[in-house]
């Protein structure tokens, strides 16, 4: 199976974009970048052959009731890893600014692994420069494009960070960041509204919800929303590096995995009856926070979760006779 892209010069897909795609995907290889299998240039025909991403692009799945939160977080993490590889070069390759990060350019394979695609607007920059600033006529997609571009007419690696931040919020809310008018123009952009919801601590009002999937853990939500908001900072210097985005998304995914695992095995109401200082276990995020430090049970028994997220230590409590639970074998 392969994906075939036939370029159309009438839609801005000319020889420069064709050659840039070939050059980029020939030099940059990563598990989270789409792979180029071959190309054809004959007469007026320009054709690119890619690996087949069977599930298509992320924008088609934002409101899917079948996509769980661990899968959603993993998709975001994969995309960030691909971009981090481009931004933080090792050995000989030059830094690459994608310039058109959006959910439509994040492709998904049959295992829901995400791969960044479409490098027709990408720009190479010197690897040893602290700030890669490129003056360019190329612009990203409205709704995703760094607002500083309209002011400075420059794109930087921080512009990619902003665009990924928009994608993160799209995944969180389960919808595209804009609506179209009848003639195809952007009618409404939701990014500012989403930022205000974050500032007012009203994310639970806009987060994607579906009764078929387990809700997003509140600790994961806090970690995920914090890094997404920082990506959307107005000032480029205040935005995180892509490597930090990767680290924070890994933490959010770990927390969600642990939350879903522990919810299957702990009776929170029963646990609430056994602790020395009773608390309301309907707030599972509070229980999770307590488990991080250990909970003193009646009779001096304790429940402790180790900091490495791989073990849960339990001593003679009603809901489990297991002394040590290994979380790594999931």
Percent of the chain whose predicted confidence (pLDDT) is above 90: 49
Burial, 33: exposed, middle or buried (Cβ in 10 Å; 0-12, 13-18, 19+)?
Answer: buried
Q: How confident is the model at residue 300 (pLDDT cuts 50, 70, 90)?
A: very low
**How large is the average pLDDT for residues 100-108?**
96
Catalytic residue among 78, 100, 146, 217: 100
d(CA 21, CA 44): 17
With 60 as the cut, is the pLDDT of residue 221 above it? Answer: yes
Q: Are 73 and 168 in contact (CB under 8 A)?
A: no
217 belongs to the catalytic site = no
Compute the distance between CA of residue 212 and CA of residue 120 in angstroms, rounded to an integer: 38
CATH topology for the 53-260 domain: Transferase(Phosphotransferase); domain 1 (1.10.510)
**What is the rounded distance in angstroms from the CA atom of residue 121 to the CA atom of residue 100?**
7
pLDDT at residue 98, rounded to an integer: 93
pLDDT at position 235 over 80: yes
Q: What is d(CA 261, CA 243) in angstroms, rounded to the nearest whole number?
A: 27
Query: Buried b vs exposed e over 219-255: b needs ≥16 C-beta within 10 Å?
Result: bbbebbbebbbbbbbeebeebbebebbbebbbbbbbb
What is the Cα–Cα distance from 203 to 184, expressed in whole angstroms? 29
The rounded distance, in Å, linking the Cα atoms of 59 and 251 is: 24
Range from 39-43, 207-211, 234-238, 295-299 carrying the lowest mean pLDDT: 295-299
Q: Where are the domains of the chain?
A: 53-260, 265-326
Residue 100 has pLDDT above 90, yes or no: yes
- Give burial (CB, 10 Å; 0-12/13-18/19+) of 277: exposed
Contact yes or no for 213/65 (Cβ under 8 A):
yes
* DSSP letter assigned to residue 9: G
Do the beta carbons of residue 182 and residue 226 sit within 8 Å? no
- Looking at per-residue pLDDT, the higher value among 84 and 268 belongs to 84
154 or 266: which leads in pLDDT: 154
For residues 26-50, average pLDDT: 92
The predicted pLDDT at position 314 comes to 46
Calculate mean pLDDT across residues 189-207: 91
């Amino acid at each position: 199976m392969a994906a075939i892209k036939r370029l159309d010069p009438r839609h801005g897909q000319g020889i420069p974009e064709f050659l840039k795609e070939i050059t980029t995907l020939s030099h940059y290889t990563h598990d989270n970048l789409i792979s180029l299998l071959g190309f054809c240039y004959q007469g007026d025909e320009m054709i690119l052959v890619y690996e087949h991403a069977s599930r298509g692009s992320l924008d088609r799945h934002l409101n899917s009731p079948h996509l769980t939160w661990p899968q959603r977080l993993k998709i975001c993490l994969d995309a960030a890893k691909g971009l981090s590889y481009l931004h933080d070069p090792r050995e000989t390759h030059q830094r690459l600014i994608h310039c058109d990060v959006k959910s439509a350019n994040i492709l998904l394979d049959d295992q829901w692994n995400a791969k960044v695609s479409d490098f027709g607007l990408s720009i190479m920059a010197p690897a040893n420069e602290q700030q890669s600033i490129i003056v360019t006529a190329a612009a990203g997609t409205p709704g995703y494009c760094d607002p500083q571009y309209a002011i400075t007419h420059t794109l930087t690696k921080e512009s990619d960070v902003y665009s990924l931040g928009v994608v993160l919020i799209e995944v969180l809310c389960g919808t595209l960041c804009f609506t179209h008018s009848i003639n195809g123009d952007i009618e409404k952009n939701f990014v500012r509204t989403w930022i205000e919801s974050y500032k007012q601590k009203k994310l639970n009002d806009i987060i994607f919800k579906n009764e078929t999937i387990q809700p997003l853990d509140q600790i994961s939500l806090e970690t995920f929303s914090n890094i997404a908001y920082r990506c959307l900072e107005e000032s480029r210097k205040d935005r995180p590096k892509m490597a930090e985005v990767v680290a924070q998304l890994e933490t959010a995914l770990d927390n969600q995995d642990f939350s879903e695992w522990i919810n299957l095995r702990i009776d929170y109401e029963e646990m609430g009856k056994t602790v020395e200082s009773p608390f309301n276990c309907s707030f599972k995020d509070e229980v999770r926070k307590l488990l991080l430090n250990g909970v003193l049970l009646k009779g001096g028994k304790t429940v402790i979760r180790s900091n490495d997220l791989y073990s849960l230590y339990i001593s003679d409590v009603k809901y489990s006779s297991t002394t040590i639970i290994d979380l790594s074998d999931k």
